[in-house]
Copies of this chain bind each other. A is one copy, B any other.
Amino acid sequence: MSVRRVLCPGSFDPITNGHVDIIERAAALFDECIVAIFRNAAKAPLFEVRERVELCRQALAHLPNVRVEESDGLLADYARSRGVSALAKGLRVVSDFEYEVQMAHMNKRLAPEVETIFLVARPEHAFLSSSIVKDVARFGGDVSGLVPEPVRRALEAKFR
């Protein structure tokens, strides 16, 4: 049996408890898990890519087979260069589904040996997204329980 590797790509601006859950579950299905933070995926991001990497590392420190990387360029190329078997994505709602299905078809075309697998967000995370978290934090709403503690503190610092 060769080592099987999964890639969890995203902009993670910032990482939420919904992301952490999906990464934990993807990491449990494979030998190794790479979390790839795409520099260019978010338009006008709140956090610099370095900050996003650092927050992901803190939020995922309890997962020994996960490593966080900063990346760039075409996802399919990146996946291939890392020798992953699969991309893992979380699905929350129907509109996620349609967009992600389009991306999965395109990635399959560009790198046929890389599979995309979808995991369903836990029901209590179905309303969670990085942008809704930022909207709440921006106006002083309480985001504890929605994001890892270091992210909560970083949001507070940004919007103070």
Could you list which residues of chain A lie within 8 angstroms of chain B, going by C-beta atoms? 1, 3-4, 25, 28-29, 31, 73-74, 76-77, 85-86, 91, 93-95, 97-98, 101-106, 108, 110, 115-120, 122-127, 129, 132, 136, 139-142
A127 CB contacts on chain B under 8 angstroms: 101-106, 123
A85 CB contacts on chain B under 8 angstroms: 28-29
A122 CB contacts on chain B under 8 angstroms: 105, 108
Distance to closest chain B CB from A30 (angstroms) = 8
Are A86 and B29 neighbours in the complex by a CB distance under 8 Å?
yes
A25 CB contacts on chain B under 8 angstroms: 115
Are A1 and B115 neighbours in the complex by a CB distance under 8 Å?
no
**A120–B141 Cα gap in the complex (Å)?**
22
Are B102 and A97 neighbours in the complex by a CB distance under 8 Å?
no
| Most B CB within 10 A of own CB, among A73, A102, A116, A123 | A123
Are B118 and A91 neighbours in the complex by a CB distance under 8 Å?
yes
Closest B residue, CB atoms, query A140:
B74
Are A136 and B74 neighbours in the complex by a CB distance under 8 Å?
yes
A1 CB contacts on chain B under 8 angstroms: 1, 3, 31
Distance to closest chain B CB from A125 (angstroms) = 8
